[in-house]
Amino acid sequence: MFAVNKHEMKIKFCLGYLLFSILLFCIEVVIATVLKNNFFVRAYLGDVIVVILLYTLVKSFIKINSLKLIAGIFIFSCLIEFAQYFNIAEKLGFQKGTLMYIVIGNSFSWTDILCYAVGCLILLIPVYLNRNTMNF
């Protein structure tokens, strides 16, 4: 159902998506460093934004069906979250506090999955508003 064939995915650079990805990445860095004591922003908003960041990053370099990309990002995010349940970062040998340990994460949360779903739903809004062309 979500298979992507070679005709649906093409390499195509988009500066607008790349610039937006950089902006979202900077916001994520601020959330992780400056706003680290703000529980709501760090615990929820960062997880919503990260799926949007992944979407814009992929769209920066690849022209792909938006619905399939959103579904793929949600599945990918859930897989990472479930891997956290099994302490994958530690099993891969990453030490607490290292960049990869932080990126992969270290604790499973159903709330995180809900935040990923909210981020994906936010991505669906412009897709459905522009459903004839699927340019977003």
Q: Model confidence over 16-46: pLDDT tens digits?
A: 999 999 999 999 989 888 887 887 888 899 9
Domain with 64 in it? 10-129
- Residue 135: inside a domain: no
d(CA 30, CA 11): 31
DSSP string for residues in 12-80: ---HHHHHHHHHHHHHHHHHHHTSTT-HHIIIIIHHHHHHHHHHHHHHHHEE--HHHHHHHHHHHHHHH
Q: Among positive and negative, which fits the CA dihedral 54, 60, 62, 66?
A: positive
CA angle, 19 as apex, 14 and 24 as ends, to 5°? Answer: 125
**Are the C-beta atoms of residues 9 and 62 closer than 8 Å to each other?**
yes
Task: For residue 30, tell me if it sits in a domain.
Answer: yes
CB-based burial, 81-94: b 16+ in 10 Å, e otherwise: bebbeeeebeeeeb
pTM: 0.83
Q: How confident is the model at residue 132 (pLDDT cuts 50, 70, 90)?
A: low
Q: Kindly state the tokens that stand for 108.
A: 């499973």
What is the per-residue pLDDT across 69-100, written as a single tens digit (0 to 9) for each? Answer: 999 999 999 999 999 999 898 889 998 888 78
Residue 39: inside a domain, yes or no?
Answer: yes
**Model pLDDT, residue 3:** 56
3-state secondary structure of 10: strand
Q: Is residue 4 part of a domain?
A: no
Whether 29 is covered by a domain: the verdict is: yes
Could you give the CA distance from residue 122 to residue 129 in angstroms, rounded to a whole number? 12
